[in-house]
A = this chain, B = another copy of it.
């Protein structure tokens, strides 16, 4: 029942057989970006098998330059698979990840189905790569995109200053709600652009009509302070994920975390305004040095010269962009920052690919 089961199929001693990868959900918002990433990164994979729902079976997608046919999700789809990436809805992952494990694959799951399971590590390679090795259920979880969009930067600062509290407000992109989110925002923008709508009450609601897609309110010319589903005492599932997952990844079960998650009319790339409080006094100079040297982080911080991170600049790139670093005027232990990360890349597909590569290296190690 451990993911190491698959190791049996990979000859030890580094014979050079490359592991077989399955991408489950290859046709989705995350899956599409993942195929691009697989084509760009150093290629560690043998066969790459594309899996989606029966609706997509037979479709041909390009991966590593080759047309590859999508197969329908089934037990057989995992035959001979060493690593299976899951980029599908929670309930599909909950049902099928154990099937893939039983067939001998290590699963790297992008859904929320297993993230808080104590027997499933929650991994961000720059922060806790070591955790990927201990996976009692054969499953490794990829954090939620909102947490991922900031956690590499926060991990680097934590290592130096000792994090004690995070108060964050998010600016989340439409593609965080999948392909449906992107299509909805595009349609709504087409309905309002070129009109004089947007400055009278009800204007935007009338213009975009009743089909709000995956959002609970119009997103064009608007911001929507709600993502996910209702949880206790007024919190959204998305806000609690930021708290629970940040604590688990950083190994800080007592970390104080308050998040307000808000959707904005951006297609891809989540941003967060972060107030981070530390055990120790901080300076902007030290923070700049840490962030400038942190793997996976790009520091862009000269706002008077127009140098700050924005989604339009960060989209399609791999790193976490950080800027607007200020020390709180009333608290020498706290920093304010603004962070952007492509929610489909580092926020999902890239982190999955990085975890899968850690596993591949382990499986093929001499």
A residues in contact (CB < 8 Å) with B: 165, 167, 169, 171, 175, 182, 186, 189-190, 192-194, 198-205, 216-218, 221-226, 229-230, 233-236, 243, 256-258, 260, 262, 264-268, 271, 273, 275, 284, 301, 303-304, 306, 308-317, 323-331, 334, 336, 338
Chain B residues positioned under 8 Å from A224 (CB to CB): 308, 310
Shortest beta-carbon distance, A329 to chain B, in Å?
7
A311-B226 in contact given A192-B189, A317-B201 (Cβ < 8 Å): no
Question: Which of B221, B226, B264, B267 interacts with A171 by CB under 8 Å?
Answer: B264
**Closest CB in chain B relative to A356 CB, distance in Å:** 23
Q: Which residues of B contact A167 (CB under 8 A)?
A: 167, 275
Query: A265–B165 Cα gap in the complex (Å)?
Result: 30
Contact A316 B234 (CB under 8 A): no
A60 to chain B, nearest CB (A): 21
**Given the complex, which residues of B lie within 8 Å of A229, measured CB to CB?**
304
Q: List 12 A-B pairs, Cβ < 8 Å.
A: A169-B273, A201-B316, A202-B312, A204-B312, A217-B308, A221-B266, A225-B303, A235-B329, A256-B328, A258-B331, A260-B338, A264-B265
Within the complex, the shortest CB–CB distance from A56 to chain B, in Å, comes to 21
CB distance from A32 to the nearest CB of B (A): 10
Looking at the assembled complex, report how far the CB atom of A239 sits from the nearest CB atom of chain B, in whole angstroms: 8
19 other A-B residue contacts (CB within 8 Å) besides A234-B326, A260-B324: A169-B169, A169-B260, A169-B273, A175-B199, A192-B193, A198-B266, A198-B315, A201-B317, A217-B306, A222-B266, A223-B266, A223-B311, A225-B308, A234-B284, A256-B328, A258-B275, A258-B331, A262-B271, A275-B275
Shortest distance between the CB of A175 and any CB in chain B (Å): 8
With A222-B266, A223-B264, A264-B223 as contacts: A257 and B330 at CB distance below 8 Å: yes
In the complex, the answer to whether A260 meets B336 with C-beta atoms within 8 Å is: yes
A271 close to B225 (CB less than 8 A): yes
Chain B residue, CB-CB nearest to A204: B312
Cross-chain contact A273 with B260 (CB below 8 angstroms): yes
Given contacts A198-B267, A234-B284, A284-B234, contact A312 B260 (CB under 8 A): no
CA of A326 to CA of B301, assembled, Å: 32
Q: In the bound complex, what is the Cα–Cα distance between A338 and B264 (angstroms)?
A: 14
With a 10 A CB-CB cut-off, give which of A171, A309, A316 has the most chain B CB atoms: A171
Max chain B Cβ within 10 angstroms of own Cβ: one of A189, A193, A221: A221
Is the pair A336, B258 in contact by a Cβ cutoff of 8 Å? yes
* Least CB separation from A205: chain B residue: B312
Which of A201, A205, A229 counts the most B-chain CB atoms under 10 A from its CB?
Answer: A201
